[in-house]
Structure 1
Amino acid sequence: MSVQHLLKSLVWLALAVCGLPAGSRAQSVAQRSNAACTLDWAGRQTGVRELTGRNDGPQINAWQKAAGAALYGPWCGVYQAANQRACGLPVPKGAAGSYNWFTDKTRTYYFTGKRGSIDSLKPGHVVGFYYASLGRIGHIGRAVEMGRSIRKGRPARGWYVNAGNTGRGGGRDGGGVRVVFYPNSDISAVANWLY
């Protein structure tokens, strides 16, 4: 048996034992690292508040300018864009619009009634909330951690979500960066922007 053939056999054996191709393992490790970066950044922003309650304030204005968005406009999308940029990650075109985070079919793996499962949601992924009054996704946040399950072995009944331009009870017109619990039924879309 040649050395080259022996090395190939060892690689295949290692892949079979680990269960993931080498590229998938590396991508998984990178995504976990990127999730940790986004969650750390988001945690440091929690508590940032609007200055006058009109989508303004030094930090909020800076995020809006960096995203090329109009000042004094809704800022949940630009907040997520600032988070992505701080970690060297991509943002969608038109990141200020929360709905634009869920138009990429490769990254958006869950959309209520259309595709996927919310059970694939992981910390660091972005979640969207549908507003019937708008007829589209109208708010975005980042999944932080699962809420506890009702019974052991059952899926979580919801997620804690870090979002900008949100209120104490959630929603899209609040005055700060908060972590709010949302039941799974409130989450309309999920996308992975960690790669």
Structure 2
Amino acid sequence: MQWSAAHLYVREATGRNDGPLIDTWARANGVPLRSPWCGLTQWAGQKACGLPVPKGAAGSYNWFLDPKRTYYVRGKRGSVDSLRAGHQVGFYYANLGRIGHIGRGIVAGRTIRKGRPVRGWYVNAGNTGAGGGRDGAGIRLVYYALPDFYACANWLW
């Protein structure tokens, strides 16, 4: 979690999935430069803390393939209420037909939406825009309501 806070303001150099740190992470993972990099931030944070990573960690969907670590998949298994700080959360994109974005849950939060309380989490994610999404220009802390999460996994052990 300290790693996530320390890297919160990493930004792309030109807005094209690039920058000194982003390029270093891409090279270390053997992925082409200028590739989407949200999975790379998860990889870097895990490695810095000596925690395990999945094979193909640069691909956001690969974090949710291990049935021992993935405890929630919308409509299929588990409960999003099991989410804890440090766990990975995945976001599904219909146009891709798969999980296309990943972040790390940082802290639970509440907000008022249409006059009623909605539970959610603040999520630290790379390649994210100011309002969320999978094609932004930096590592950001964004609030998401629980229904936005498609999958959750615990890679802390």
How many residue pairs are counted as aligned between the two chains? 153
* Residues 105/82 of structure 1: CA separation in 2 closer, same or farther (3 Å cut): same
Name the counterpart of 1:184. Answer: 146
- Alignment pair present for 1:71 and 2:71: no
Cα distance in 1 for residues equivalent to 2:7 and 2:58:
18
- Provide the aligned C-alpha RMSD in A: 1.3
Q: Which residue of 1 aligns with 2:94?
A: 132
**Could you list the runs of 4 or more consecutive aligned residues of structure 1 that deviate by over 4 angstroms after TM superposition?**
none
1:103 maps to which of 65, 70, 73: 65
More helix by share: 1
Q: Kindly state the Cα deviation for residue 59 of structure 1 after the two structures are TM-superposed.
A: 0.8
Query: 5+ unaligned residues in a row in structure 2: which ranges?
Result: none
Aligned to 1:115: 77
Higher Cα Rg, which structure:
1
1:94 has 2:47 as partner: no
Unaligned stretches of 5+ in structure 1? 1-38
SS at 2:100 equivalent: strand
Which one has more relative contact order, counting CA pairs under 8 Å at least 6 apart? 2
1:65 is displaced (CA, Å) by 1.3
CA–CA distance in 2 between the matches of 1:149 and 1:142? 19
Whole-Å Cα distance in 1 between the matches of residues 151 and 128 of structure 2? 18
Report the alpha carbon displacement of residue 148 of structure 1 after superposing the two structures with TM: 2.6
TM-score if structure 1 supplies the norm length?
A: 0.76
Match of 1:160, as an amino acid? Y
Secondary structure (helix, strand or coil) at the match of 2:14 reads: coil
Alignment deviations for residues 34-63 of structure 1 (CA, whole Å, 9 cap, x no partner): xxxxx1001000011000000000011111
> Residues of 2 paired with 1:162 and 1:149: CA distance?
17
Write the letter of the residue equivalent to 1:158.
G
The CA distance in 2 between the partners of 1:53 and 1:98, in whole Å, is 20
Q: Is the 8 A contact 1:67 1:82 kept in 2?
A: no
Inter-partner Cα distance in structure 1 for 2:47 and 2:84: 20
Q: In structure 1, the residue corresponding to 2:43 is in which secondary structure?
A: helix
Q: Distance in 2 between matches of 1:145 and 1:117?
A: 17
Q: Distance in 2 between matches of 1:81 and 1:67?
A: 9
CA contact (8 A) 1:165 1:172 kept: yes
Aligned residue for 1:35? none
1:161-172 alignment, distance < 5 Å: 161-172=123-134
Indicate if the aligned counterparts of 1:146 and 1:156 stay in contact, CA closer than 8 A: no
Q: Distance in 1 between the 2:131 and 2:6 partners?
A: 20
Letter in 1 for 2:90: G
Identity, in percent, stands at 66
